[in-house]
Structure 1
Amino acid sequence: MLKAVIFDDEYIVLKGLKMIDWSKYGIEVVGTAMNGIEALEVFQTHRPDIVFSDIRMPGLDGLQVIERILEDKPDTICIVFSGFNEFQYVKRAIKLGVTDYLEKPITIPIIEDAIKRVIEKINIQKSVATLRLRWEDSREELLEKATLDLLLMGEGAESRWRECFGENADAVRNVTVYALSEKCPDLESNLYQIVSVSNGEEHLLVVFQFQDEVDDLFQPLMDWIEEKNTYLGEGRTYQKITDAKKSYKEAKEALRYGRFMEEGWTRFDNIGGETKVVGSLSEQEESIIFHIRTGDKPGLLKQLDSFIHQLNSERLIPDVVEREILKLVYLAMEVAKETGEDIDRQGKFLPHLEIRKLETKDRMFGWLRSQMEMIYDWTRNVRQLTKHDAVNKACAYLKEHYYKDITLQEVSDYIGMNPTYFSLLFKEEMNQSYIKYLTNLRMERAKALLREGHKVADVSEKVGYYSSRHFSDLFKKYVGVKPSQYKI
């Protein structure tokens, strides 16, 4: 029910207006006042939807009261009445935004007509508000759908995305996709627009940047990750909108490795980026690569069983089964080469010849299991023999070059290893990711420089960060206070 108040310095007017059956209009009169000061007190107490007020009242006149009410609660419906039919009052009342202006003497039919007009206006406002909410909800849903299509289809979905994104589409300079292990709260900024989408159990944030740098996104996301003890994978940033499809795939890959490495925030570039074996691989093939790289033999064997079951259920001809098995074996051999060693150094391992000797599917499947286990065991053995020296060499390199804009690819090239393989090897040996190790090096050096009296901006560059804001956020995360507070 709507709440109304009546302000008039004439008792007979107040008494007469109370005789109206307000309830049939869905209105309850919750208060009255006979002067302007009291009127404001009644308004603050009841916060009504509708105000009926005389213009001439002691203390404050009705228009002064209305002015203060509308400043405080602009959506209040205000109706004024007066015995003074003067243009200046009408003009001032209209300027304030009153809904209706009634001349005295006030009769019950006049008030009831005014009430009907008010109710009609309120209903129109509600309808417009409802339509606006529906439109906003619909527009948001359409944008989410168009953005998901952009991630899945790329160029084929760009025109529809631009239509749904609106007039700011041409202002987007970069796009980055983040994959999360659970849904993230809404984040807002003038520097970017985030579209939150879901694809099955995948939770994604698609960040459309209006400027090249969005450093203010780092801290709220990092705070959320730490609060929820959850994971986030970050794809690369692209200038071309349709490359959101690439960033999406990278973000999913980064999230997967981040979970394995128990890193809250994992960037795709920090797990090695593309390798020779990526491309149009199936989910099963990508999963098999993952298990070989991460040293998960039970996971590998389970995925092999799933692969074999699928081949068996599709009733394929022998040539197709043979081709799919060989593809998987050669794929695993490429992964093994990421160690820097060659599993077939002598050139005697010829899978395509060996499988031709097998006459049944069961023998082919048994051979596949044995080959994959052999490749896995060989890879694992090489890892155990080489990881200590390789990681020590990498640590020495990082200590010497920490102040540069150093990349995983650069470190991997220095020690002669595949980037993805190296990042996993480093985690296994050091019990932390290479990027966390590098960050710790930089933070320790930053603390020393701050104690020596260097400016925060200078320290940021001296330890390898060219965005002082990003440096400050990281420093606070690792040290507990901002750089400017630490140096004092």
Structure 2
Amino acid sequence: MKLFIVEDEPRLRNAMAHHIPWEDHGIEVVGLAANGLEALKMTERRMPDLLLLDIQMPEMDGLTLIRRLKEQQKQRTAFTKMIILSGHDNFAYAQEALKYGVSRYLLKPAGEEEILQAVLDARSCLREELERWRRTMELEKKWTEHMPSLQTQFMWDWVGGRLSERELLDRGQQLQLSFTEQDSFAAVVIGLDPLLEEECRFSRDDAELLQFTIGCLAKELLPAASVWVCKAPEDDLLLIMKAEEGQRGKDFMFHVQTAAVRLLSHTREILKVTASAGICGGPGQLDQMPRLYAEACQALQERVIYGPDIAIPYKEMRMRERSAWTGHHRLERLLETALETGNDSGVREAVDGIWMQMIEPASSAHQFQESFLYIISLLTRIVVKQGWSVCEVAEEEWAYFQNIHLLHTRDQARTWLERTALRIAEYSRNQRSNSSHQLVSQMQEMISKEIHQDLTLHTISDRLYVNSSYLSRLFKQEAGMSFSSYVTAQKMERAKAALQQGHKVYHAARITGYRDVSYFTKVFRKYWGVTPGGIKPL
């Protein structure tokens, strides 16, 4: 679960964040704030599950912060537990805190073990509430209400591009869906990950029930006025999110990604199974929903690259704007998916199936040429759809695109088809790798330039407008180590170089972002095996 710490005293704030072994208990510190006003802005983006805060702070005190959070984020704070750490033994403070639903009221100076235990107790309480909520949702499952089915059909007509803008506005109003032609939208597709072999509580037959529960959870966690949920094919779930007032562009998309990450986290906590999310590449208007949905579906397919339990924004391969793909043949869709994801085995399977169904039955040269031209046009559409040049992708195979008469026999044509399809798949993998490398390079450049600051994954994710879970997975895949390990290694290398140049220990600590020299010494010794004082100038 995610923990956010609000404390105006820097030393105590850093001690609580870094000296208490949160990670050993499955708790992630997602943010630190020095006062209530700063925390109010940050929690909107970080969406913590647990809040540890002081009462007496400048600009905005802790109780005011809690009240403002309750007023502004009623839906989101329903599953947020708060623990107060105060130096005031005042019954009135405690009484008001309890009125706002605070889980625990600790007095300073509280020990690290006492603070840790209070947070763990709050987490246990939150898990119990989530479990009760899950049971309630299962008992209250209803499929007989007419309005949800009408809304679902409407949303499928919407993403399918079957309604004009006027029809969307009129029918949306009739079905109690509040939006206008000026609103911006985003599409998120949630798909259950394959169940583990040792999973004994659920089977494939329970996919519909699990997906229904995730949909109910999404409605509970996200504002009802700005998110609509419906079932998608293959037991997937579609979330259509509307930008709230003041949300624009990248800020809106970062909010969408953060919400998706939180939904996946609660799915894992409640159901003990994992799901992944595909997120469209950017906001769109009312009539652009078919494109947003197609992008979200494509992003979800990238799960085969990054693994399960992750929210994936549509960023790897930008598709050129064009009319929606209209092929409905299963093998054609299989080939398109395999080529775009660089799946060689999927390419071979699709090519085999297409060949047997379209080419093998041909009984004349005319039928053969006509069918083969269709397959070449299919490959061309798939390549052009990605915004690539067919000539560049095909290289020496380009001549056969221009003149199929160069293929004299069925065997020659069959060999060329598979070879060319595999070449496209390889090109797709290279494009994805280059795109991922650019994002990781940006992160490494930030670390290098700002090594003197207290860099966190969440800080960088805010600036890149990409959710932290996705960045963490991508960075480890590209760099071969976790983000935190990489930052520590860079800081320790910089510190050692400074000490070898004759700088003092406190200077080496300062230029690598450590304000507490004793903590810097502890980290340095753990990394290098000697204290900073043991490093002699060269």
What interval of TM-score do these two structures reach, taking the shorter chain for normalisation?
A: 0.3 to 0.5
- TM-score, with normalisation over the residues of structure 1? 0.47
Q: Which has the higher contact order (CA 8 A, sep 6+)?
A: 2
- TM-score, with normalisation over the residues of structure 2? 0.43
Structure number with larger C-alpha Rg = 1
